[in-house]
Structure 1
Amino acid sequence: MKEHYGLEIPISMILKITEDHAKKINEKKTSNVMEDAKCLIIEMDGGVVPIVEVDDKIKDIDLRKTRKVIWKEAKLCFARVNKRIDRIYAAVIGSPKEAGEKLYECAKRAGLMEKTYIHALADGAQWIVDQIENQFGSQANFLIDFFHMSEYLNEASQYCSVLNPK
């Protein structure tokens, strides 16, 4: 904050505000369950995001000079009741298992029941397919989205050509 805005804020205040927001989010998470759903649409995807790490062990050096950018995969998911616009989102920078658990939480909050039909949509990445299977089993049917299916078929078509076999 000081570097960009000239404000110096105690770390304890930043921590308190962050924890207060986390508490409010957690309360909303458990209290805001929608009605039971007959059909849920769920989606999941991953994408790399830049994370800035600062080596704060080094003293008496401008911290900007110790910054290092690393790339980590953020996994985003959502669930919604069929034909409704309201979505429940979750995201994690963590393992596929953690992302699967977040997806299940979204589905529960959206109204997942024992007999809910789940329509899962994603790019076909194996970790996503595995998590949908692990979290929902035979309750879910998986569909690769149109954009990615078109890419996959285009790539495969090069090997199916009678005139130009590869």
Structure 2
Amino acid sequence: MVRPFSHSAKVRSRGYSTPLQRRITDFGADVPFGKIANKFKEHYGIDVPITTACRITEAHGEKVAGLQERLHEIPETRGAEYVVAEMDGSMIPVVATGQSSQSSGCHDRRKDRRVEWKEARLTLAHSKGCVSPVYGVTLGGADQAGDLLLDCAIRAGCGAITRVHCVGDGAQWIADQVSRVFALQADCLIDFSHLCEYLAAAAPVCAPAAPKEWVEQQKTKMKDNQVSQVLEILEKHKEPESAAKDAPVRKCYQYISNRQHQFDYKGALKADLPIGSGEVESGHRYIIQDRLKRPGAWWKKENANSMLALRVLRANHGWDAYWDSQFQHAA
């Protein structure tokens, strides 16, 4: 049967045009699927079933995730003088349903439902002074996050002479991955606010009469790279080994002593480079948590991965290019 209008308009019965799919996906990447129907009724006066909104959004997210290609080789061109790179993990709720035992005669996968928390590792990189980072996110392990950080750095302008300045919270896996993918081309710096939290916890023990003043003195020393002097002060007040595991002075001492080569704040400030990892921490909120960490929401891992792909696509300003390609494909 020939349908002239359907042929010329490139639509089919009970189908959804590419412009409509774009709007559904746009809403789906921002709000729970249950709210999309109300928003479409309010904005466009049409009814969109929740299941359809979910199916279309997740299908495009899966397609976006499949289109992502990773860069693994730093170009031989000079590149930017400095590239700032950060990565960190954030926990999201996931659910899995296993295969029920055939011998038990039970085929209801809901009876084998497991809920857990999965770490989403966010990476970003940008050249010094740039305000538009390149983002990446993975639900994989540390090596995948490291490869993703390298990809972001290359896209941000990393070249043969580039110095990669990485700021993190002190997690060992971050330092290991920076060393693995950048070798001697990068250095790690402990996020200054994380350091201050340890100092603030130790202050009431080291200087009970004036804890705030003590913290400011140690902060000044650390910014001047006087790490050994701060360690000497902490050692004088360090709790005995028999004390509780969370003894604040001992924890602060260990935190600093185990990372002594990661406190070059003086060099970073002189080069006008950041000493905090606030960019990646704020990225967790508006890229990951705003959509995937909602009360009562649990995600299948594959659907969470698709949603993360959509949100990173938008953060990287690739939204228009993706939909342009979908329009061309539809034509």
Q: RMSD over aligned Cα, in angstroms?
A: 3.7
Give the 5 Å matches for 1:92-107.
Answer: 92-107=138-153
Does the CA-based 8 Å contact 2:83-2:153 persist in structure 1? Answer: yes
Q: Kindly state the Cα deviation for residue 7 of structure 1 after the two structures are TM-superposed.
A: 4.1
The one-letter amino acid paired with 1:39 is: Y
The structure in which a higher percent of residues are helix is 2
| Structure 1 residue 17 corresponds to structure 2 residue 60 | yes
Gaps of at least 5 residues in structure 1 are none
Counterpart among 107, 118, 130 of residue 84 in structure 1: 130
Q: Kindly state the Cα deviation for residue 18 of structure 1 after the two structures are TM-superposed.
A: 3.8
The one-letter amino acid paired with 1:107 is: A
| Structure 1 residue 36 corresponds to structure 2 residue 82 | no
Gaps of at least 5 residues in structure 2 are 1-32, 38-48, 72-77, 101-105, 207-233, 241-331
The one-letter amino acid paired with 2:120 is: A
Q: How many residues align?
A: 157
**Closer, same or farther in 2 for the Cα pair 1:91/1:13, shift >3 Å?**
closer
Identity of matched residues, %: 33
Q: Kindly state the Cα deviation for residue 67 of structure 1 after the two structures are TM-superposed.
A: 4.4
The DSSP-based 3-state class of the residue aligned with 1:71 is: strand
1:143 is matched with which residue?
Answer: 189
Give CA deviations for 1:54-103 in whole Å, capped at 9, x if unaligned. 457675x695x764321111111100010110100011111111100000
The DSSP-based 3-state class of the residue aligned with 1:37 is: coil
The one-letter amino acid paired with 1:146 is: F
Runs of 4+ in 1 over 2 A off after TM superposition: 3-9, 11-23, 52-59, 65-68, 151-166
Between 66-75 and 130-139, the greater mean CA deviation after superposition:
66-75
The DSSP-based 3-state class of the residue aligned with 2:85 is: strand
2:177 is matched with which residue?
Answer: 131
Q: Give the structure with higher Rg (CA).
A: 2
**Closer, same or farther in 2 for the Cα pair 1:156/1:48, shift >3 Å?**
same
The structure in which a higher percent of residues are strand is 1
Between 68-77 and 108-117, the greater mean CA deviation after superposition:
68-77
The one-letter amino acid paired with 1:96 is: A
1:75 is matched with which residue?
Answer: 121
